[in-house]
Structure 1
Amino acid sequence: MTAPPTWTSRIHLDKLTGVRFLAAILVVLFHFTPPVQERMPVVLQNLLSNGFVGVSFFFVLSGFILTYSYATPSGMRGSDRTFWWARFARIYPLYLLALAMKFPVYFVKGEYSSYLDAAIDFLSSVFLVQAWIPTSVGGINPPGWSLSAEAFFYLLFPFILPIIQRTKINFTSIIFALWLASFLPVYLLHSNGIISDETAYYLPLFHLPQFVIGVLFGWVMVSSPTGHFATISKKISSIIALGILIILAFTRMPMSTLNNGILAPLFGILFIGLAQGMSRASWLGSSGMVLLGQASFGIYILQMPVGSWFKYLSGLGSGELNGSQILIYIAVLIIFSILAFKFFEQPLQKLIMRIVKSRSDAEKKGTLAEH
C-alpha cells in the first residue's frame, strides 16, 4: 500500500462533519431514553438500545480524519510534538470544562465509595487514564472514558501511520485481520467470564484495531482516491448506510461485539463514500448540519454534566426524564454545545496553538543563533 506517484489535494469533508452529529445524538439517546423506550416501536427501541455504537463510529472516524488531515506520501505532516499539541488543544479544554461541571454533582451526590476512590477517579480523569482503571472507568463523567482511549490512539498515531504507509500486505487482508481482532477475542474472553464488563467494553487496547481500521481507510482515501477499492466503496456506500441502519434497527448484538468494532469496516466504506460526495447525503453537508457536527464533541462530552444540572434545576434530582423533558434537555444540550464550541472550545484551541507556534518559532530562532 505505498503511495502512488501522484498525490491528490485535500477537500473539505463537510458531510463527515455533519454525520458526527448523528452519531453523538445517538449516544445521548442511548443514555437518556431507556425509561421511555417501552412505549416505542420495537425497531426504534433496538436503534436506541444500540446507540452506544456511536462510540465505535467515532473511533473509526478519528483514524480516518487524522490520516486524511496529516498523511503525506512518505510520512506525517508536521512534527510529532506539534501533532500531539494539536490534539490536546482540540479535546482537552472542553473535556476539562465537562469534568469541572460534573464534579460538584459527583461529589455532593456521593458517587464514590470512599475519599480515596474519589481522588483516584478525579486524578485518572484529569490525566485521561480512567479507561485503564476498571474501578474508575465510569468515574466522574462516564463518556470521558472514550477520550481516555482517544488519547492512547493519538499517542500511537505518529508511529502507526508510517507502518501502514510502508506495508506491502494486501489492504483487504489487513482490514479482515483487524476486524476479527477488534471484537472476536473480546467476545470470547467476555462470554466465558475471563474478563469483566469494564475491561471488555472500555479497555483502550481492545479498541485500537477500530482506530487502525480508520487509519487504513483514510490512507486509501488520500493515496488512491480513484483506485479500485475507493471506487467500489463510493458506489456501494449508500447501500452500506442502509445496511448499518437495518442492523441497528432489527438486531440486538452483544455490547462486546457492537461496541468493539464489528461494524468498523462498514463505517470505513461509508466514510469514503461521504468524503467523495455521496449524492444522497448532500443534506449532511448543509451549513446547519456542519455547525451541529462541529458542536458534536460538546454534545457527546457535555451530555452528563448538562443532564445532571438540567435535572437539578428542574427539581428532578436523581429522577428519570419523561418524553417531553428529554426533548427539552436535548435542545438545551445542543444550544449549550454550540455556544461552548463558538465561545470556549474554538477560541481556546486557537490560543493554545498560537502559544505552541510562538514557542516553536522561538526555539528555531535559538537554534539558528547557536549556529
Structure 2
Amino acid sequence: MRIIAALLVFLSHVIFPFTQGNQNMATPYADDGITQQLMWLLYPGGSIGVSFFFILSGFVITWAAKPGDRISAYYRRRVVKIMPNHVVTWALAMLLFAGSYTLLWGLPNLLLLNVFVNDNAIWGGANMPAWSLSAEMLFYLLFPALIIPIRKIADNRLWLWAGLAFVGMALVCLVTLTLLPDAPKYPGEALSLPQFWFIYLFPPVRLFEFVLGMILARIVAAGRWPRIGVLPVMALMVIAYAATLYIPWPYSVSLVTAIPFALAIGTFAKANLEGRKTFFGTRPMVWLGQISFGFYLTQAIVLYWLREAVLGKAEYGPVGGTLLIIALAGVTVVTGWLLHTLVERPAMKYWSRSRKPPVQPGPAEQAPAGALSN
C-alpha cells in the first residue's frame, strides 16, 4: 500500500514543482488551465500521503515489535532503515541542485532537525521530501516508551483508545486555528506560516497518527477487527480523498482521511492474516511497496534536477505533458529501485542485526496472538 501513498506525494509535486530555491520551475503542461485544474485535483495527495505513512508506520512497527528485544537493537534497526537512504539522497540533492540555496550547509536537513523550528527559511532545502523523516525519527525514539502503556490497554477498550487518538488529531486542528497567529499567510493556503508549520510539519503533533497506527495493530492482533469488505474500504478512501478537495486546511491534512486509512490498514492486514489474496498482495505491488521508500526519497532529484537537466524548462500539450508525467514516474521507480538495491538492502543486511541474543520475555510479556517478528 505504501507505493500508492508515495505516488500521491509524487503527483502533487510533479504538477506543483516548488522548492525554496526554485520557485519558477516548469510544469508538464504549457496550458496553465490544465495545470491549475490538476493542482486542485492532486495537491491534497501530498499531505494525505504523508499522513498514511505515519499511521502505517505505527501499525507496522507495533506489529513487528518483539517483547524482550533489546532497545539498542531496535534503535539500530530503525536508524539503519532510514539514515543510509537519507544521507545518500541528501548528498545528491545538495551536490546536484540544492546546495546553492539551502541554508546552514544543509546540516539541519541532514540531522533531521529542520522542521522542529518555526522558520520557513529552514524547513525547505536539500532533499525536500525528507522532512517527514524528522517526524519518523521522533516516533522511533519514543516508541519503546509508547508501547508500554499501549500493550496494557485491555482488549475491550482498544477501540475507545483509537477513538481518543482521533479526538487528539481534531484537537490539534482546533489549537492550530485558535491559539496560533493567523499571519503572515503561507503562500497558496488560508493558513498562516505558523499554523502551517504546526499542523503539518511540527513532529510532536503528528504523534497522534502514529499512535493510532499502534492501536490498530493491537486491535488486529487481538482478533477484534470487524469483517469489512475490501471494496467498501477502497471506496471510502476515494470518497475521503474527494472530500479533501473541498474541506479546508487544517482539517484536510489528516483528520478527514484518518478513519478511512485506519479502516483500510486494518482490513488489508486482516485479509493477509486470513490468507485472502488482495490487489496489494500481488507480486508487482509487493515489489513496488519494497522500493517505495527509495521512490519517495529520490523523487525530488528526478523532478527538480534530472527533468530540467534533460529537457530544460520545456512544457507540453495535454498528451505530451501526460506522457512526461508517466515517464518521470517510471524514472523515479528506477531510481527508487537503485536506492533500495544499492543502499537500503545492503545496509539492512550488514548493519541492522544485533549480535547479542534478545532478552527472553517473561510470561506476562509474550507477544499477542498473530504478532509477526522482523
Q: TM-score, length-normalised on structure 1?
A: 0.78
Give the conservation status (yes or no) of the 8 Å contact 1:181–1:209.
yes
Q: 1:276-334 CA deviation, whole Å, 9 max, x = no partner? A: 22799722111111111100001111110222231242142698994332221111110
Residue 83 and residue 47 in structure 1: after superposition, are their counterparts in 2 closer, same or farther (change >3 A)? farther
Work out the CA distance in 2 between the residues paired with 1:33 and 1:280.
37
Give the conservation status (yes or no) of the 8 Å contact 2:58–2:214.
yes
Residue 92 and residue 306 in structure 1: after superposition, are their counterparts in 2 closer, same or farther (change >3 A)? same
- The partner residue of 1:65 within 60, 69, 80 is 60
Q: What's the offset of the Cα at 1:246? A: 1.6
Partner of 1:10: none
Q: What's the offset of the Cα at 1:275? A: 1.2
One-letter amino acid of the structure 2 residue matched with residue 86 of structure 1: R
- The partner residue of 2:284 within 258, 263, 288 is 288
Partner of 1:174: 161
Work out the CA distance in 2 between the residues paired with 1:245 and 1:41.
21
Give the conservation status (yes or no) of the 8 Å contact 2:297–2:336.
no
Give the conservation status (yes or no) of the 8 Å contact 2:240–2:257.
no
Give the conservation status (yes or no) of the 8 Å contact 2:176–2:198.
no
Partner of 1:307: 303
For residue 235 of structure 1, give the secondary structure of its aligned residue in structure 2: coil
Q: Which has the higher helix share?
A: 1
Give the conservation status (yes or no) of the 8 Å contact 1:210–1:261.
no
1:124 correspondence with 2:108: yes
Q: 1:100-121 CA deviation, whole Å, 9 max, x = no partner? A: 111124445x324xxxx333xx
1:24 correspondence with 2:6: yes
Residue 138 and residue 261 in structure 1: after superposition, are their counterparts in 2 closer, same or farther (change >3 A)? farther
Q: What's the offset of the Cα at 1:170? A: 2.3
Partner of 2:101: 111
For residue 271 of structure 2, give the secondary structure of its aligned residue in structure 1: coil
For residue 102 of structure 1, give the secondary structure of its aligned residue in structure 2: helix
Residue 266 and residue 146 in structure 1: after superposition, are their counterparts in 2 closer, same or farther (change >3 A)? same
Q: What's the offset of the Cα at 1:247? A: 2.2
Residue 166 and residue 349 in structure 1: after superposition, are their counterparts in 2 closer, same or farther (change >3 A)? same
Q: What's the offset of the Cα at 1:64? A: 0.4
Alignment of 1:94-109 (within 5 A): 94-107=85-98
Residue 139 and residue 196 in structure 1: after superposition, are their counterparts in 2 closer, same or farther (change >3 A)? farther
- The partner residue of 1:268 within 242, 259, 262 is 262
Work out the CA distance in 2 between the residues paired with 1:304 and 1:271.
27
Q: 1:54-110 CA deviation, whole Å, 9 max, x = no partner? A: 100000000000111115xxxx351111111101111111111110111124445x3
1:220 correspondence with 2:210: no
Work out the CA distance in 2 between the residues paired with 1:77 and 1:259.
36
- The partner residue of 2:126 within 136, 140, 145 is 140
- Paired-residue identity, %: 25
Residue 313 and residue 40 in structure 1: after superposition, are their counterparts in 2 closer, same or farther (change >3 A)? closer
Q: What's the offset of the Cα at 1:344? A: 2.0
Q: What's the offset of the Cα at 1:40? A: 8.1
For residue 124 of structure 2, give the secondary structure of its aligned residue in structure 1: coil
Residue ranges of structure 1 left out of the alignment (5+ in a row): 1-18, 362-371
Work out the CA distance in 2 between the residues paired with 1:87 and 1:318.
41
For residue 258 of structure 1, give the secondary structure of its aligned residue in structure 2: coil
Alignment of 1:338-353 (within 5 A): 338-353=337-352
Residue 39 and residue 124 in structure 1: after superposition, are their counterparts in 2 closer, same or farther (change >3 A)? same
Give the conservation status (yes or no) of the 8 Å contact 2:240–2:260.
no
Residue 90 and residue 33 in structure 1: after superposition, are their counterparts in 2 closer, same or farther (change >3 A)? same
For residue 112 of structure 2, give the secondary structure of its aligned residue in structure 1: coil
Instruction: Please provide the CA RMSD for this pair.
Output: 2.8
Give the conservation status (yes or no) of the 8 Å contact 1:63–1:211.
yes
Q: What's the offset of the Cα at 1:25? A: 0.6
Residue 111 and residue 244 in structure 1: after superposition, are their counterparts in 2 closer, same or farther (change >3 A)? same
Q: What is the aligned length? A: 322
Q: What's the offset of the Cα at 1:260? A: 3.5
Residue 134 and residue 308 in structure 1: after superposition, are their counterparts in 2 closer, same or farther (change >3 A)? same
One-letter amino acid of the structure 1 residue matched with residue 231 of structure 2: S
Give the conservation status (yes or no) of the 8 Å contact 1:311–1:318.
no
Work out the CA distance in 2 between the residues paired with 1:55 and 1:318.
30
Partner of 1:7: none
Residue 329 and residue 92 in structure 1: after superposition, are their counterparts in 2 closer, same or farther (change >3 A)? same
Point out 4+ residue stretches in structure 1 off by more than 6 angstroms: 278-281, 318-321
Q: 1:327-371 CA deviation, whole Å, 9 max, x = no partner? A: 2111111011112212221012211125xx34x47xxxxxxxxxx
Residue ranges of structure 2 left out of the alignment (5+ in a row): 17-26, 182-193, 358-374
Work out the CA distance in 1 between the residues paired with 2:229 and 2:39.
27
Residue 281 and residue 192 in structure 1: after superposition, are their counterparts in 2 closer, same or farther (change >3 A)? farther
Residue 353 and residue 247 in structure 1: after superposition, are their counterparts in 2 closer, same or farther (change >3 A)? closer
One-letter amino acid of the structure 2 residue matched with residue 21 of structure 1: I
Work out the CA distance in 2 between the residues paired with 1:111 and 1:280.
50
Of 262-271 and 275-284, deviating more is 275-284
Q: 1:245-290 CA deviation, whole Å, 9 max, x = no partner? A: 0221353333422324442232222112111227997221111111
